[in-house]
Amino acid sequence: MTLAVGFIGLGNMGNPMAGNVLKQGYAVTVFDKNAAAMANLVAAGAKAGTSAAQVAQTCDIVLTCLPGSPEVEALYLGAGGLIEHTRQGSVLVDMSSVLPTTPRKIQPLAQARGVEFLEAPVSGGVTGARAATLAIMVGGEDKVLERVRPILGAMGTNISHVGPIGAGNTIKAINNMMSSVNSLAMMEGMMVGLKAGLSLETMHAVIKDSSGASNALPRVHRALIPRNFEPGFKVALMNKDLDTFTAIAKELHVPISFANAAQRYQQAALAAGLGEKDTSVIFTVIEQLAGVAKK
């Protein structure tokens, strides 16, 4: 019998991820509180769910990809939520980036109802989501991962079981702190170069083969030169991930500094009303600070 897979949260990431599960031949039911987000998937053969509870009642495996901890906790733990409605023996997999405390709250409550739960946050951006090449950082029990591995394999090429519940979101927060710091270092460097008379193209061409290269560099052609700041990955979401990293570091008494420097820029972008833009929009904040204001 074909497994019935539910997918809730069809935004920049969830939409292409659900599309890749559908392409593997699974019977997929989708649900997003924004109905327009489901349209392309329904046109491609997915069933339109009528509510999260209905998806939970009718699917064997339910995947979620929501903004952060408040949305995930409300959906799983709230009245009429996933824990209440998921069938015994089913599996819930949260692929959102959240505080590690969120999956740690959900797992025991799911298990008490005879439902399995895994956290599986992802990295690779919208490009990786579309290409089904995401890195997936799984926290939870091995036997549960083995049940859902083929479905995760439809979305990513690098599935790592990193430890118990909470470990996946811990690595994810560390990754995003490093990614954010790399990006901001790159953008500050580019601004200094521009004011010194160098072009973005020249700096990219030289640095891509030099020791300053990082995964941040493709932003030069993807976002900085075309001035394309549509998400992608929203500033508000990166700000949340830096909050998560800082919360973990505080709990463990690790003094940190780079996350704080990076978050100053996220905060400045939020204050400028740019929270729904891609994180590369921070280049425009750096331009303002450097007195190179463009539109």
Of the residues 122, 217, 220, 248, which one makes contact with ligand NAD according to CB under 6 A: 122
Q: Any contact of residue 68 with ligand NAD (CB under 6 A)? A: yes
Catalytic residue among 33, 47, 105, 172: 172
Q: Which is nearer to ligand NAD, 238 or 286 (CB)?
A: 238
The two structure tokens encoding residue 105:
């709250």
- 227-246 mask for ligand NAD (x: CB under 6 A)? -----xx---x---------
Q: Any contact of residue 67 with ligand NAD (CB under 6 A)? A: yes
Asked whether the bond before 232 is cis by omega within 30 degrees of 0, the reply is yes
Burial class of residue 135 (count of CB atoms within 10 Å of its CB; 0-12, 13-18, 19+): middle
| Amino acid making up residue 33 | K
Tell me the C-alpha distance between 295 and 284, whole Å.
Answer: 8
> Residue 251 to residues 109, 164, 216, 245, 246: CA-CA distances in angstroms?
24, 18, 29, 10, 9
CB 5 within 8 Å of CB 49: no
Phi then psi for residue 64, to 5 deg, are: -130, 145
Q: Any contact of residue 269 with ligand NAD (CB under 6 A)? A: no
Please indicate whether residue 172 is annotated as part of the active site.
yes
Q: Any contact of residue 123 with ligand NAD (CB under 6 A)? A: yes
Of the residues 12, 169, 244, 284, which one makes contact with ligand NAD according to CB under 6 A: 12
Q: Any contact of residue 34 with ligand NAD (CB under 6 A)? A: yes
Site for ligand NAD in 70-89 (CB under 6 A): 71, 75
Catalytic machinery residues: 172
Binding site for ligand NAD (CB under 6 A): 8-14, 31-34, 37, 52, 65-68, 71, 75, 96-97, 122-123, 125-126, 232-233, 237
